[in-house]
Structure 1
Amino acid sequence: MPKLSIITIVYNNVRDIERTINSVINQTFRDIEYLVIDGASTDGTLEVIQRYKNQISKIVSEKDQGIYDAMNKGLAMAKGDYVLFMNSGDELYDEHTVEDVFESSPGADIYYGETEMYNDNWENLGRRRHEAPEVFDWKSFKFGMSISHQAIYIRRSITTPYDLKYKYSSDIDWIIKAAKKSSNIVNVHRYVAKYLVGGMSKKKHFESLKERFKILTKYYGLVPNIFNHIIIAGNLVTYYFKHRRTND
């Protein structure tokens, strides 16, 4: 079985960090290198992390230039065959998740699965609006980010550092780059992550959308991207109308 590097990025999140750590260290899959990159937290987060220092492979606590700079630090330290980012507030779906992912098919370049959303009170909001596609390749993001960052395991040898010119959506660029290099992408057909809604891309939603448009234009072309966004807008309206009617 391969070795997996799980990287957790955190800054001043004392409320949620322990939940994320426990979801990693309680995995039945044992060959995990766990890296925690803290941005010099001042709210007690580091003290919580230190309580688990014997179960964490490496802890770094220092100022950084933002979330993707911190992710690059973790990526540069990683030694595993695969990498997974499970940032503070998010969780692996259950204790068998990693084991099930790697048992689904040997030797894939990328494994991916489905994500469940949770609100700030850790109440289940159900599956993400973008359902994970049955088949995934580098063109699959043309109608939206259909796989969440927490739900994709990528062979480390095909990864590149995050492009720091993108402050809110560099993960989309990063996944597309890896998918373009991949020859074997496996849908594990299970929930693999729990995602805490309300990250930086949500707080800076308009800036994030502008960045996403630039990234998708780079890969898919301007005219196709405009056309695809018309479809995205239509799908969004249909989703919310249907969702509202269901709740009425």
Structure 2
Amino acid sequence: MKVSIITVVFNGAEHIRDCIESIINQTYSDIEYIVVDGKSTDGTVDIVESYGARIARFVSEPDKGLYDAMNKGISMATGDVIGLLNADDFYRHDRVIENMVATFKRTNSDAVYGDMLYVDRVDTQSLKRYWRSGWYTENAFLWGWMPGHLSFFAKRWMYEKYGLFRLDMKSAADYELLLRFIHKNNAKLAYMDEVTIVMRAGGISNSSLKNRLRANREDRLAWDMNGLKPYFFTLWLKPLRKLSQYITKPPKPVTP
């Protein structure tokens, strides 16, 4: 099973080595690694190019933002499975892709997802949040559930059949895509009960009350776009469910 991993970056020289190293050091060998750069000016391009053929595809050109860059990468991907890993982030250990592929094969699923950690941008040992996605149950989106987007690996045919990220959304394009794939089109899911992704804290949807309210409006729009109707409390449960992420502690990584 060929796996395409896509990293999008713009002026990410400070952290992109961590991201790249976490991918090229995976134990699973059949990985197509694609990097989509938004015409960086801080040395990012030189860092990426220094890895040579270990990066299968690299483009550096202006884009229309994060989701446009992700769509470019997805369109270039030739793998059976597609995953996304942003330049500030990295895999928690070197068996993430191996475990993910094994989960696909064992469950014959359309998509696989896991858990995520949010850490301090400088001190990555300092935990901020633990996003435990948990097991999916039918209609879980109605109760405010969603998996961590970057922990989500989907078969390429799903993007081809159901579409890419919508560029008319600012912060909820990931939520809309997951809602479309999982809730609307009933993707068969499998859960990896482990932390797969480590993310440096900071995000456009949760950095202020104003942005949180905007994200809530976009979440509602995501349901409307798909001809779906949430419960009256669905879109308020979604941010409320995140409160436990600041309290719950993650398990230690399992040593192979």
Report the TM-score when normalising by structure 2: 0.83
Deviation at 1:202, TM superposition (A): 3.4
Gaps of 5+ in 1: 244-248
Deviation at 1:217, TM superposition (A): 4.8
Question: Is 2:218 the partner of 1:215?
Answer: no
Question: Is 2:202 the partner of 1:198?
Answer: yes
Tell me if structure 2 keeps the 8 A contact 1:118–1:125: yes
Deviation at 1:115, TM superposition (A): 0.9
Matching residue's letter, 1:97: V
- The residue number in structure 2 matching 1:123 is 125
Deviation at 1:148, TM superposition (A): 1.1
Report the TM-score when normalising by structure 1: 0.85
Number of aligned residues: 236
- Larger % of helix: which? 1
CA distance in structure 2 between the aligned counterparts of 1:22 and 1:35, rounded to whole angstroms: 13
CA distance in structure 2 between the aligned counterparts of 1:133 and 1:167, rounded to whole angstroms: 27
- The residue number in structure 2 matching 1:50 is 49
| Distance change (3 Å), C-alpha of 1:81 and 1:234 | closer
CA distance in structure 1 between the aligned counterparts of 2:158 and 2:111, rounded to whole angstroms: 10
- The residue number in structure 2 matching 1:246 is none
SS in 2 for 1:158: helix
Note the 1:59-138 alignment, pairs <5 A: 59-106=58-105, 107-121=108-122, 122-125=124-127, 127-128=129-130, 130-136=131-137
CA distance in structure 2 between the aligned counterparts of 1:64 and 1:234, rounded to whole angstroms: 33
Matching residue's letter, 2:6: I
| Distance change (3 Å), C-alpha of 1:14 and 1:69 | same
SS in 1 for 2:4: strand
- The residue number in structure 2 matching 1:28 is 27
Deviations 1:40-88 (A, max 9, x none): 0011111111111221000000000111111110011010011001011
SS in 2 for 1:115: strand
CA distance in structure 1 between the aligned counterparts of 2:145 and 2:44, rounded to whole angstroms: 30
CA distance in structure 1 between the aligned counterparts of 2:37 and 2:238, rounded to whole angstroms: 35
CA distance in structure 1 between the aligned counterparts of 2:5 and 2:242, rounded to whole angstroms: 32
**Aligned with residue 184 of structure 1, among 184, 188, 191:** 188
Deviation at 1:230, TM superposition (A): 4.6
- The residue number in structure 2 matching 1:141 is 141
- The residue number in structure 2 matching 1:171 is 174
Deviations 1:171-221 (A, max 9, x none): 111122222435521112111111222133334444333212321455542
SS in 2 for 1:104: helix
CA distance in structure 1 between the aligned counterparts of 2:86 and 2:120, rounded to whole angstroms: 15
CA distance in structure 2 between the aligned counterparts of 1:191 and 1:161, rounded to whole angstroms: 25
**Root-mean-square deviation over aligned CA pairs:** 2.3
Matching residue's letter, 1:67: L
| Distance change (3 Å), C-alpha of 1:206 and 1:43 | farther
Tell me if structure 2 keeps the 8 A contact 1:168–1:211: yes
Matching residue's letter, 2:96: T
Gaps of 5+ in 2: 248-256
